[in-house]
Amino acid sequence: MTALTTAFEVVDGRLEVLLFIQRGRSYPIPSNTYRRVYLIGKTYLVEVDNLGILEGQVRIGSPAAALEYVRLPSAPPTYFLFPKPLRQEIDIIDRDALSLHDVYGNRVELKSLQHCSNGFCGIIDHRLYQSLPLPPTRVETRGRDYRVQRLLYREHLDREGQVIARNVVLVRQFVSHNGHVTNLSEEKMPEAMASAVRWVIPRFK
């Protein structure tokens, strides 16, 4: 059980990553482990498989918190906790901009990403980010709410799990102070951006 450290506030409870062991029926009995995010309160335990579960359960009070919140299903240390059928995606992050917000307080993960190869888990060097050139990540304050612009690297898979298409996508979202997210637009970047870097999304369960 691992607690997630977040800049956004969970109103009544906490977010934790729980480890499960799934046993098979054949002999010898195989087992498969997987992890998921759960919202845990005094009287409830709810799997968080999308941000809609957290709507009304959080308070978002800063631009950093808004960005951290919408990245939860696609950030380098958490994307695999939110499995998507026939699709994988991860935030593209300038290595120079990496902070503890991007790894939910995990200092070991932060150190690892600061030294990984370009494209691994969506992390690339600042000079390469500018040379492609990629649009900047931005968060604008709108009263009590926020407008977020961010980049995703996305892979589309066939039913055997093989990659059949790759895209870099510019996403714009409206994030309310209580966790409601509205997708405003998605814009595919030129195909060269998906092939200019050896993007790697590690497969975890």
Q: Between β-strands 9-10 and 163-175, what pairing exists: parallel, antiparallel or unpaired?
A: unpaired
H or E segment and range at residue 193: helix 192-195
Contact present, 100 and 110 (Cβ < 8 Å)? yes
Q: Which two tokens stand for residue 157?
A: 């898979």
- Residue ranges of alpha helices (H) inside 34-163 are 63-71, 107-114, 126-131
* pTM for this predicted structure: 0.90
- Report the distance separating Cα 37 and Cα 71, nearest Å: 14
Cβ atoms within 10 Å, residue 189 = 18
One pLDDT digit (tens) per residue for the chain, 205 residues:
688 999 999 998 999 999 877 665 554 544 467 889 999 998 989 999 999 999 999 999 999 999 999 999 999 999 999 988 788 999 999 999 999 888 998 899 999 999 999 999 999 999 999 999 899 999 999 999 999 999 999 999 998 888 999 999 999 999 999 999 999 999 999 998 999 899 999 986 5
Closest CA to 139 of 173, 90, 184: 173
- Residue 160 region, left (φ>0) first, then alpha (ψ -120 to 50), else beta? alpha
Query: Using an 8 Å Cβ cutoff, are 97 and 137 in contact?
Result: yes
Task: With H, G, I as helix, E, B as strand and everything else as coil, classify residue 99.
Answer: coil
The 3-class secondary structure across 9-41, one letter per residue, is EECCCEEEEEEEEEECCCCCCCEEEEEEEEEEC
Residue 33 contacts residue 205 (beta carbons within 8 Å): yes
Please answer whether residues 173 and 185 qualify as being in contact, where contact means their C-beta atoms are separated by less than 8 angstroms: no
So what's the pLDDT on residue 12? 87
Q: What are phi and psi of 102, to 5 degrees?
A: -75, -15
